Structures are given as structure tokens and as C-alpha cells.
Structure 1
Amino acid sequence: MLFHLGEMVTATQSVSDEVLELLGTEMNYTVQVVSPEEEDRELLDSFKISYGEDSGDEDDLQARPPVVTVMGHVDHGKTRLLDTIRKTTVHEGEAGGITQHIGAYQVATALEGRERLITFIDTPGHEAFTAMRARGAQATDIAVIVVAADDGVMPQTVEAINHAQAAGVPVVVAINKIDKEGANPQKIRQQLTEYGLVAEEYGGDTMFVDISAKQGTNIDGLLEAILLTADAALDLRANPDMEAQGVAIEAHLDRGRGPVATVLVQRGTLRVGDSIVAGDAYGRVRRMVDEFNEDITEATPSRPVQVIGFTSVPGAGDTFLVVEEDRTARQIAERRAARNRAAQNAQKRKRISLEDLDAALKETSQLNLIIKGDNSGTVEALEDALTKIDVGDEVELRVIHRGVGGITEGDINLAIADNIIVIGFNVRAEGKATELANREGIDVRYYSVIYQAIDEIEAALKGMLKPIYEEVELGRAEVRDMFKSSKVGTIAGCMVLSGEIRRNSKARLIRDSVVVQEGLPISSLRRFKDDAVEVREGFECGLTLGSYNDLRVGDIIETYEMREKPRA
């Protein structure tokens, strides 16, 4: 039936939603396409698990700390601000000084004589991490937008504001670097009014705080502004007595501890020994570690912890929940994994209709990649950035495999089978894998800064494009006389009118402004009795056009060459 509808597919191929609906109409069925979220909810309902709401009565709800995401432009001092808040130095260890993972930390502060906790999520600043930054905004209660007082509102500042507004979270603006020359906090207040953030002193409802993360100026004022905004705008309560639910902020593969996920508990209490499922990963909580690397036995709402005990690495941004037994966790994870596999296969397959079958059969160059990284969020962000590289339809980029952890022999074997380039982001090949890669000549590239990877892959894709040639005119000559030769045929006696005539270049013959013959070679070229390589404008010469003899006085011979045109 699809074949008659103009769709060329096999019996097992995935097709788009529109084609499914069309097929249903043809076969008198009503096709309802549900989103992965709805499918997931249905899956959880079948296990009698409710996700996304607090169980119990109003009396069971207790106040929880606000979850704060720090966002803003590259180099505006987000990580320095968090360092100052928790008295550590993360940014010095970051490649290129750019935060490339999401970290979560909890700090204590005092408000009106009472100690209060605040959870901070640090999101990366570079534009390639938009997906991770967007997730940060979704897991959060309040967004702190950091703007440098000497630099002003930048593209990623606007992007961060958009993420926060799309997530519907209140915003607190921290104007950083007020100790630097050229700092103008008032100008930034005015700039941000264009984006709907109006300072309280201008009659708006957004709190602006002037700080210096380097000098530690007014940090307490910022923490107070966060708590005041939370109290005024939000009702932050959760039930700590239910099964824990929340979100995996980051995950990586640790050589000694196996898969480690940083999770943020949103409701309920997570305890050591709980059966847990996050995305298509599952396991049992064997150990929990806080931000100071100290073991804890339980995590209450808004608490970020590292969980050890997953059987595989969950994805950054995956929701997690605690279930009654390991078997249930495994079943949910396996069903989700099967659904993700089907979705990926559908994405990889290109739909081919009868009309464009001919074009599809023509060979398109393809660059195949395997991406391995130290964190699932980083791998996903890098894949997202690479697949967005646009060099036209002639070259296609495909990510054959992605994963978290070092480059293994299995990755190299896959690369040998399919002629693939392996990318390691903040990870290295293990011993035998290095030997195998060297022996088989597999290209393994290591990166620690994301835009180096993007630039090199873009250069590789452009190198795979077929060269574009353009015609460059060399010169024109007019036939003034003709001579017959038994050896070489007709010799044209010419005057070079412009440019130069070169031996072995291509020529076209023009008669009465009409092209008579194309692609003729200038096989011999002479000045008087001497052979010449080229003859310039204003000089006379004799030449032959291969075996072509139909020349007349007054004909114009135009010479040209094809030069490779550099791609933009």
C-alpha cells in the first residue's frame, strides 16, 4: 500500500508519524501518535507507579530548600561565583577555563537568624552545551543570571534568560565584576529591561544584586535575595516520606566505582539500598556521596548526591524514581531502552520515495564517528553540536556509537569494521585498544575543549566534499592567416588580442560571436620558428588546435583553464 502511495519502504522499516497516519486512513484505522512522555507515563501506570506528583495529604508536605541554577555568558564569572560560595576552586581545572559538566552543591546561609539551605546547579557556559543548560533550567526553582558589569548583555546571557523564562522560573540577576574598571551596573539594569527583567528600584519585580565573586563582595546579599525570591514567589514543599523521585543531572563512568550519577532528589527520600531506575539505566543504591565526598545514608528533597550502583550510565536529564524491587526497575529500563533503540533506528534511516530514489542511489560521502566522553551530558552535547555542522547534502555525518568511559577494544573493532574515526573527549584509549588502533591505522582523536572538536570535524567534512571547478579565461587571439602543413595539419597565424595564449590549455573557437567548437587543446604554439610555452597580448604566434582543421580568417580563439574553487 505504501509503495502505491509513493513511499519506498521495507516491511521492517520505521516511518514518520505522517506516513503512519496516512497508512491508517487508507486501511480504515485511527492512528494516535503519543509522545515519549505519554508512553512513559503509561508504562509507569502499568507498574502502578505515579511520577511527577507528591503522594499523601497536604499535611505530609514539608518545606524544602530552593534549587538554583547559575547561568550566563562564557567568562562572566559563574564558576568563580560558585567557588566563592563554597570556597573551592573548580574553574582552574577546567579545560580552557570553560565549565564542561554540570555540578550540584548545597550551601547553608542564614536569613533572619535561621539557617537555610540552598542547592546550586552550575551549568556550562559554552553555546554547544545549550541542551545541558536547558535541562538545568528545567530542574530548577530559581535562575541566577550572572552578567559581567564591564561586558554587558551577551548572546548567551539572552539565551539563558530565554531558557529561564521558558521554564517559568523566577530570575535573580547577579551583576558580577563590579570591582573592575569600566564596570557600569546601571547600564546592565537598563539593558535587561529589554528582556522583561525590570529591577525592583525601577518598579519591577526582579532582584538585582551587585557582587564581586573575585573579592567576595556582597555574596551574602545574593544568597539573601535568592531566599527572599523563593519565599515570595514559590511554595517550595515536598513530601519526604514517599519513594524518592528526581532528575539525573550528570553521569559518568568511574574506573574504580563504575557508573556514577549526580542526582537531584525532587520529592521523597533516597536511601542506600533502594532499587532505582533512571532513563534506561537501573540498579540498586550501593553508596551515596555528598559534594564533600563524604558518605551519607539518605538524601531528602532538593539534595544533590552522587549515586553509585547503576548497571549502566544514565543520560544527563533523565528522570529517576525508586521502585519496590530490582525486577521492576529492570523491566522499566529494558522497555525504555527498546523504545530508544527504535527511535534511533528511525532517525538513522532516510526515507526514500520513488521520485528521489535516483538521487539516493548516487553515492554520498559519509563521515562515521564513534564518540566517547567522560560524562553523558558532554557526549550528548558534542554529538548535538557535530550533527548541526552544515556543509550541504553531498557529505553526511553519522554517529555510529556513543558512550561514556575510556576507548575500548570493542570501539576500535567497530571502527575497523566500518572505517570510522574515534573521538575521545576527556578520555583516553586503554592499553590494548591503543595497540590495536596503531596496528590497524584507526584515527583516534583526543579533545578536551569542545570547539576544537567541532572545528576539526567541520574541516574534515569540508575536505570530503568534491572539488568545485570554475572556468578562468586566459586570453583571446584572432586568426589572421592559415597555413597548411602535411605534418601537423592546419596552422593558424594569430594575433593575441588580450591576456595570454598558453600551450596545452583548453580553447574554444568563436565565429561571428557563436561558439563553433568547445574543449579544443592548444597542442603546439610557436613564435616564428621557436616553440613557445606562452605568448602574451600584442604578439603574433602560430598554433594548432589538435586535429581540428576547420579554421577561417577572423575566427576568435579563446583559451581558458579550470581552477578549483575554495569552498566558503
Structure 2
Amino acid sequence: MRVHELAKELGVSSKGLMDLLASMKIQLKSHSSTLDEATVERVRRHVKGKAEPKSAEPARVATTPSGERILGMRKIIPPPPPPEPIVAETAAGDITLSETTQAKPAVPEPAVKVKPAAPEIRVVPRPAAPLIEHEPGRPTARPAQPVAPPNVTSRESRPGVRPAAAVPGTVAPARPPMRPAPPRREGPPRPLPPRAPVEPLAPAAGAPAPAPSPMVMPPKERPPKIKERLPPPPPPEPVAPPPVVPAEIDIAGPLTVGELAAKLGLSGGDVVKRLLEQGVLAGINQQITVDVAAKIAESFGSKVRKPESAAPAPAAAAPKRLELAKDEAAVPRPPVVTIMGHVDHGKTSLLDAIRQTDVAAREFGGITQHIGASTMDVGGKRIVFIDTPGHEAFTTLRARGAQVTDIAVLVVAADDGVMPQTVEAINHAKAAGVPIIAAINKVDLPQANPDRVKQQLSDLGLVPEDWGGDTVTVPVSARTRQGIKELLELILLVSDLQELRANPARPARGTILEAKLDRGRGPVATVLVQEGTLRVGDAVVAGWTYGRVRAMTSDRGERLSEAAPATPVEVVGLNDVPTAGDLLEVVRDDKLAKAVAEERRERQRAAEAAALHPGGEEAPAAEGPRELRVILKADAHGSVEALTSALERLATSEVGVRVLHAAVGNVTESDVMLAAASRAVIIAFNIRPEPQVRKLVEQERVDILSYRIIYEAIDDVTKRVRGLTAPKHREVSLGQAEVRKTFTISKVGTVAGCMVTAGVITRAATIRVIRDGVVVHEGKIASLRRFKDDAREVTAGFECGIALERFADIKVGDILEAFEMREEPA
């Protein structure tokens, strides 16, 4: 019997049963593992034996002189509930609850005599079946004057049982009578305030029978005393521990102010305020550089670890999900499932079979071609399916770090087995860091061989659970709909183990799955809401596009006013068509959305206009560890293995070499899309790309290198690794000028009239001021002129006027040396 089947039989969750088995020292890998009959019987006996004692609990039975029975921590009173219980304090600090059937309190004869003083009497209303928990040695009321009757002292020998009943026939007056009340109320009530236990007991005093008539006046005097004691409890509540700032945080690149606040465990307002103190004006959704983030973190007492020391994890999906799971306001959300696989392996047929299952349960629903996502209910729970034909959307989302998918269903045909695109799908899912469920399709065919498929999956690192691994495999048939129900149940089980949660109260964030330009509606974006709630009228920004949500449509074509987490919707209202994979965020207003989008557009234009290396590869970013990503395709497995090991050995301490994908076969469009999204280089060994692939390579601006000799490939990669190494800077002297005269001009400062004696003085050069052989200043040129015209450069033998930035102490006879710093590859 499997674990989840036993959990269903016992009426507990799979995770709870896994914890119980772990406490019983029974080690299992997952909820689908098999238990033998002996273990099943052992667990059943354990669960039944654990539940039976709770109903009986005969241990520790005590009987009081009044006939009451005390069972451990519970008190069982056979007679009907009394009208009003009284607690009298003894010399040892014990409290007795006395019951009476009389209408008025009688004077106790053989029992404890209780003084009418207020500090010695405590009214305790008792519900029908009270659960009394009392720690031995911890008195619940302040000890009064010594009153020790025999029946009370005999009870003190039991430290484990709290004395809960009084001597039968003994009735302590609920409150002092009318005659002694006035003189005694004014003196004794003063020690009452420090008794905190009176607070919770007073409101429940009205629950039992009404108090006798002589007690009408004293209750009117008590409420003020109770109200006086109400203020003390609130002080502990406002006292909240200050936010604990972590000693060290990891920052791999530019991040928003909100992300920095989350890393520091502070509110966004505190970080924005500290930025203003540092002279930086930035909103909660604006990006800041690593240097600025490091200064802000240090001001809060936290150090920033260098990117080189951080683990170079390829995907950030797991940390993101954990961060969402730690949110106190987060609620469970449906899982997002991506179905992947080789062409003609039944991926679309499987989706059709799932759709039929959903239609049988409800009249309207199903997957639509234009949205690429569908939702369905299984056993009262919702599942979101993402359709990614050709893996373009999935690859883009993975490379951009959106991490939309929670579970990947790998469809493998039982007759064909593992194919090249199957291997690509496995690599994509592993790079995204999502669990994989292998669905072995077409098991109804005569030539089907599921065991061969399992063997091939084991060779790729996906060992089935039947063979002792951790990969869930399900035999299905899209044509006969065999195994569809089991597949959906396993998806829900895996999602339950992941504990997928999201906070619907936060500002909405989602990912653009696809976008198009509709003739009637304008730009239309298909968005999967991942966090928060997206509403009609929200101002949003996605990449360098912005706008306001004018309308939302579900995958069923219904108009929606809001979309909860893990809901795919079509959004209308953006000013332009966004890029698939962009992050859609809700901002404060349209003005902020436009500012953020324009800033991103300018940044994109600057990146496109940036200079490229001779090999066509982008210059590495200043932040973060440098890495050369490679996609390797060769004609034989031996060549793939040899090239992979040789390329990985080329990594240095400054630059790493990472093979994203290595396989046998020709370069496909999927390889080009992966390289474009990951900014990788494609190495084709002994193969030639197809013409349509070359056209896509030019369109996506991807580097594809073809080789026939392995040494040429290694040499070229070595050169690229050196090109990614941080360059060295060398100072190059441009020229010199001598100061012949100085002029002071209002609003400009001191201008030096110079004669260029050697070389050339350029406008972009750095100037070093030398006076008597000593460098007195080094800075940039503020203005370079010939007569009254601005000049880009002045050569030797010509006069010019030079004004320096933030330096006016120029004297006649100074030498101005112009130079520039040039980069040289390491």
C-alpha cells in the first residue's frame, strides 16, 4: 500500500503521515512510496492506540469529600452545575471551588471560615464542563490569612492535582453582606488592584445564575476598580521587538528599493527615508545600483557579500517561493503546471483528454488557443495548465527568472521513448528548478514499452520511484483516458508538498505569457498573476510598456473585475505590445508607471547602443560574476562528452564556463531561442545549421560557431574567456599645455590662457595640473575654447582657453598635462 492511500484510509494528510513515519524511524522518500503489510499494521495500531486513551483517560482519579471526581487535568462534576462557585484562599495558597443548592449563602459550620475582606474572597464563575489546568507550585491568587481546615491540608499532599472542590455543605458568601460592606469596602479594596487574575474572571460573572439581592450594591462599586486595572495589560502589546536586520545579505545586481527592504527585513518607508538622507530620491519600485544598496545596508548595520562569494545558482525560483511562503498573510494558491515533451508524443492529446475530464465535471470550460492557459477543478481544487508549444515561452520565462511554472509534466511516448526534444525539455525544467512528473503516454499501443522509457529516463537522471528514485511516473493514454485521474491526483499531491502560497492583499505582480496586437482592442497581453490581486483600473508597468487595466478576460472568455494569484487573464489597456516574459507590476499611479517605463526604455536603448566585443558578444556587466554560457551540439556522443569536459576546464577564477545544453544533432530553433534568452554562444561541431535556423540566428543576434577540429573550438573559447576577464587600464599621455595668463570671468571662474606645447588637448581628456614638479590637481575639463568658439581638440602650437571642473587655483607657469585611461585585455 502506498503512503497516500494509507493516509486517505486513516483520514490524515500525506504530509502528516510522512512526519509520523519519520518519528517511527521509517524512512521513505515520498508520498508515493510503498509500505509493506507489517508496516501498515504497525502504523494502524499506532494511530488507533494513540486515539483510544484520549476517550477514556482513567488515570489519576481523585475524589473529594463532596463526592466530586477529579481526572488528571479535567474535573468531572456529577451533580448539575451550581448557581455560583466561590474560591477561598487557604494558608498554603490552595483554591477550593464550593458549590451549594441553597438560594442564599449560609454560614459555614464545619468548613473553612472566610473573612468578608475583599482580598480574601475571589468570585470564579465556572462553565458547565471546565477544563482546569494548573501548574503545581504556582498559586493563582495571593495567599491570605492562614485558614487551614483538615480537609484542605490533606489535599496538599497531591501536587499533581489541583484542588477544585470545596467541602460539601460549606458555602462561602459570594460577597460581604450589606451591613459590613460599607466599612470594609473602603479599606480592603486597595490591595485588590494588583491582583491581575480578577480581570478575565469579572466579565464572565454574568454567565451563571444571577447574584443574590444583598449583593446589588457591591457590584456597582467593583466596575470602577476593574476599569482601573484595564490599562496595565495594553502596555505589553505595543512593545514590539525592533526589526532584526540580518548581519549579511546577498546582492547580485541592481534591485528595487522594495527588494532591498525585503532583504533587510525593514519596511519600504524606512529604506526610502534613509535614501533621502543619503541624497538619493527613489520610490519603492525604482531600481538602485549595487553601490547605493551596499551603502544603505551598511547604514542599517548589515554587510553586503560580494557576488563572487555567493553561490552561482542558475535559478531563483526556490528562494522566491520560500519568501512568499514566509509571508504571514499568504494563503494557499493553485499550482501552475507546464506540459512539455517531444513533438507527436501526445502532448496536445493529453491536454484534450484533461479538458474532456474538466468538461464532464462542469458544462463550460477548456483550453483556448489565444490565451495559452487553462484552469480546471479536481476534487474541489484548481489547477492551472500552461501550454508552451515548442518551449519558446517556457525557455524565455526561465531565462528571465520569472519562474512561472511550479510543476513540469514531461510527456514521453511509450513507443518512441526519449527523443532529442525530450532531453531539451528535461534540461529546461532542471534549469528552472521545478519538480518533474513523467507521464508515459500511449501505453495502450501494442508496441508500447514503458520499461524502456524508464531506463532512458534513468540514464538522464530521472530515476522512477518504482526503481528506488524520486521521479514520479504515471502511465497514461490520451486516447482511452487511462491514468488521467491518477495524473491529476499526483499533481495535487506534489503541489501540497510544495506548500504553494501567495498573498492576495499585496500589489499584484504577474508574468506576460504572450502578447499580441488586436485590431479592435489594441495591445492585448496574456498575464499569469503570481502575487497579489490584479483589478480593473490598476496602473501597471510591464517592461517598457505601461498603462491602466481597462478590461480583463478569463480563459473561458468571461469578463473579470479582479484576478487572484495563479489566475491567467487577458489584459487590455497597455500603450504598446509588451515582450513575452516581462514582469507586470501594479504601481501607485499612471505618472509613476510612465516614468518607470520610460526609464527602462532609455536603459534598453543605451544597452543596444553599447559597444560590442569583436566576437559579437556583449560586454560583461560591472556587477556579478562573469560567465560564458555555451550551447553545444555535435554529431556524436563522444564528441559531446569530450568538448563538454574540455570547455569546463577552461574556467578561471574570474570567468566561469557553463554548458547550458549539450546534445547530439543539428542546431534547432529551440537552441537559438535558448541562446537568445540566456545570452549564450552556440558551438556546432561537425554539423551545419539549416537555412531557416540561420535566418533566426540573424534575427535574434546569436553567435553560432562551427568547427570541425576540437582544438580550434577550444582555442576560440579560450580567447572568449580572456575577453570576459576584467581588462587592465593603461594611462596614455595625449599632450601638454603651458599656462601663459589667467582670466577671471563671472559665473565661470578662472580660465587659463594656454599654449599647447606638445601633442593634443582634447575635450574629453583628463587634466593633471603640475606646479613646480608637484601634481596639485587632477580632473576633467569644463570648457575648451579657441577664441570664442568651443573646440573638440587643440593641437601643438595653438593657443586655447581651458577651464577645469571644481578647480580655480590656476597660476601662470603651471603645466597642464592631458591623458586618458585605455583598457587592455588581460
2:546, 2:440 → 1: CA distance? 42
Counterpart residue identity of residue 493, structure 2: L
Within the alignment, does 1:160 sit opposite 2:425 as a pair? yes
Structure 1 residue 219: Cα displacement = 1.2
The structure in which a higher percent of residues are strand is 1
Report the counterpart of residue 79 of structure 1 in structure 2: 348
- Tell me whether 1:47 sits opposite 2:283 in the alignment: yes
For structure 2, which runs of at least 5 residues remain unmatched after alignment?
A: 1-250, 262-267, 273-281, 288-319, 358-367, 617-668, 685-689, 700-826
Counterpart secondary structure, 1:125:
helix
Deviation of the 1:195 alpha carbon? 2.0
If asked which structure has higher relative contact order (CA below 8 Å, sep 6+), I would say 1
The 2-side partners of 1:458 and 1:317 are apart by: 20
Matched ranges for 1:287-436 at <5 A: 287-346=551-610, 381=673, 384=676
**How far did residue 203 of structure 1 move?**
1.9
Could you say if the C-alpha distance between residues 106 and 169 of structure 1 is closer, same or farther in structure 2, counting changes exceeding 3 Å?
Answer: same
Alpha-carbon separation, structure 2, partners of 1:56 and 1:142: 17
Matched, 1:178 2:414: no
In the alignment, the residues of structure 1 paired with residue 500 and residue 534 of structure 2 have an alpha-carbon distance, to the nearest angstrom, of: 18
Q: CA deviation at 1:455?
A: 6.5
Confirm or deny that 1:143 pairs with 2:408.
yes
Measured after TM superposition, the shift of residue 60 of structure 1 is 1.1
Partner of 1:270: 534
Q: What is the distance in 2 between the residues matched to 1:174 and 1:136?
A: 26
Amino acid corresponding to residue 74 of structure 1 in structure 2? V
Structure-1 separation of matches of 2:421 and 2:431: 15
1:166 partner letter: A
**How big is the shift at 1:241?**
0.9
Specify the SS of the correspondent of 1:119. strand
Distance 1:192 1:56 in 2: 32
- For residues 56 and 193 of structure 1, the distance between their equivalents in structure 2, rounded to whole angstroms, comes to 32
Distance 1:457 1:70, change over 3 A: closer
Letter in 2 for 1:193: S
Distance 1:459 1:348 in 2: 16
| Alpha-carbon displacement from aligned partner over 1:18-44 (angstroms, at most 9, x marks no partner) | xxxxxxxxxxxxxxx974667996899
The question of 1:279 aligning with 2:543 is answered yes
Counterpart check, 1:239 vs 2:239: no
1:37-59 deviations in Å (ceiling 9; x for gaps): 67996899722139968789844
Contact 1:123 1:133 survives alignment (8 Å): no
Q: How far apart are residue 152 of structure 1 and its match? A: 0.7
Describe the shift of the 1:131–1:60 C-alpha distance in structure 2 as closer, same or farther (beyond 3 A): closer
Q: C-alpha distance in 2, partners of 1:267/1:132? A: 16
Q: Which has the larger radius of gyration?
A: 2
Query: For 1:126 and 1:238, how far apart are their aligned partners in 2?
Result: 26
Supply the distance in 2 between the matched residues of 1:128 and 1:302 (Cα, whole angstroms). 17
Q: Given the two structures, how large is their TM-score scaled by the length of structure 2?
A: 0.36
SS in 1 for 2:537: coil
Aligned to 1:397: none
The question of whether the paired residues in 2 share the 8 Å contact of 1:101 and 1:124 is answered with no
Counterpart for residue 361 of structure 2: none
Answer whether contact 1:246 1:319 (CA < 8 A) is retained. Answer: yes
- Post-superposition offset of 1:214: 2.8
**1:35/1:384 CA distance change after superposition, 3 Å:** same
Question: What pairs with 1:504-543 in structure 2 (closer than 5 Å)?
Answer: none
Whether the 8 Å CA contact 1:123–1:132 is kept in 2: the answer is: no
CA contact (8 A) 1:288 1:307 kept: yes
Question: 1:84 touches 1:216 (CA, 8 Å); kept in 2?
Answer: yes
* Alignment check: 8 A CA contact 2:325 2:501 kept: no
Q: Which residue of 1 aligns with 2:470?
A: 205
Residues 101 and 123 in structure 1, CA contact (< 8 A), matched pair in contact too: no
3-state SS in 1 of match to 2:557: coil
Q: What per-residue deviation string (whole Å, max 9, x for no partner) do you get for residues 298-349 of structure 1?
A: 1111111111111011111111111110111111111111111111122668
Q: Supply the distance in 2 between the matched residues of 1:183 and 1:175 (Cα, whole angstroms).
A: 10
- How far residue 187 of structure 1 moved from its aligned partner, in angstroms, is 1.2
Q: 1:50 to 1:327 in 2, by over 3 A?
A: closer
Which whole-Å CA distance do the structure 2 matches of 1:137 and 1:187 have between them? 35
Does the C-alpha gap of structure 1 residues 62 and 279 become closer, same or farther in structure 2, counting only changes over 3 Å? same
Name the counterpart of 1:229. 494
Give the Cα–Cα distance (whole angstroms) in 1 for the partners of residues 555 and 447 of structure 2: 36
Quick one: percent identity of the two aligned structures?
A: 52
1:68-107 superposed matches below 5 A: 68-87=337-356, 103-107=372-376
Which of 459, 462, 472 matches 1:194? 459
Question: CA shift at 1:251, angstroms?
Answer: 0.9
After TM superposition, give the deviation of residue 83 of structure 1 in Å. 2.2
Deviation track 1:361-413 (CA, whole Å, cap 9, x = no partner) reads: xxxxxxxxxxxxxxxx99x959959x98999xxxxxxxxxxxxxxxxxxxxxx
**1:83 partner SS:** helix
Distance 2:438 2:351 in 1: 14
Q: Is the 8 A contact 1:137 1:143 kept in 2?
A: no
1:62 corresponds to 2:331:
yes
1:108 corresponds to 2:377: yes
How many angstroms apart in 2 are the aligned matches of 1:258 and 1:459? Answer: 29
Deviation at 1:271, TM superposition (A): 0.6
Residue aligning to 2:484: 219
What SS does the aligned partner of 1:329 have? helix
1-structure distance, mates of 2:258, 2:605: 15
**Equivalent residue of 2:422, what SS?**
helix
Aligned length: 331
Letter in 1 for 2:584: F
Seen in structure 2, the aligned counterparts of structure 1 residues 176 and 333 have a Cα distance that, compared at 3 Å, is same
Q: Partner of 1:253 in structure 2?
A: 517
Q: Is the 8 A contact 2:393 2:581 kept in 1?
A: no
- For the structure 1 residues 160 and 351, does the alpha-carbon distance in structure 2 shift closer, same or farther, using more than 3 Å as the test? closer
1:347 and 1:124, CA in 2 relative to 1: closer, same or farther beyond 3 A?
A: farther
Cα pair distance change 1:139/1:274, threshold 3 Å: same
Q: Contact 2:396–2:580 (CA<8 Å) still a contact in 1?
A: no
Give the superposed CA RMSD: 4.2
SS at match of 1:328: helix
Letter in 1 for 2:428: H
Q: From the superposition, tell whether residues 105 and 135 of structure 1 become closer, same or farther in structure 2 (CA, over 3 Å).
A: farther
Q: CA deviation at 1:179?
A: 2.1
Could you give the per-residue CA deviations for residues 67-92 of structure 1, whole angstroms, max 9, x where no partner exists? 1111121221222212222249xxxx
Q: How far is 1:216 from its partner? A: 2.2
Query: What residue in structure 1 maps to residue 812 of structure 2?
Result: none
Q: Is the 8 A contact 1:145 1:160 kept in 2?
A: yes
Shift of 1:132: 5.9
Work out whether residues 179 and 212 of structure 1, in 8 Å CA contact, stay in contact via their aligned partners in 2: yes
Deviation at 1:104, TM superposition (A): 1.6
Question: Measured at CA, do residues 255 and 75 of structure 1 come closer, stay the same or move farther in structure 2, by a change above 3 Å?
Answer: same
**How far did 1:150 drift?**
0.9
Structure 1 position 124 matched with structure 2 position 409: no
Task: Give the 3 Å change call, closer, same or farther, for CA 150–158 of structure 1 in structure 2.
Answer: same
1:149-184 deviations in whole A, cap 9, x for unaligned?
A: 111111221121122112221111111121223111
- Distance in 1 of aligned mates of 2:562 and 2:603: 32
Unmatched 5+ stretches in structure 1: 1-32, 89-98, 353-376, 392-450, 461-568
Give, in whole Å, the separation in 1 of the partners of 2:456 and 2:589: 54
CA distance in 2, matches of 1:167, 1:138: 7
Partners of 2:424 and 2:611 in 1: CA distance: 27
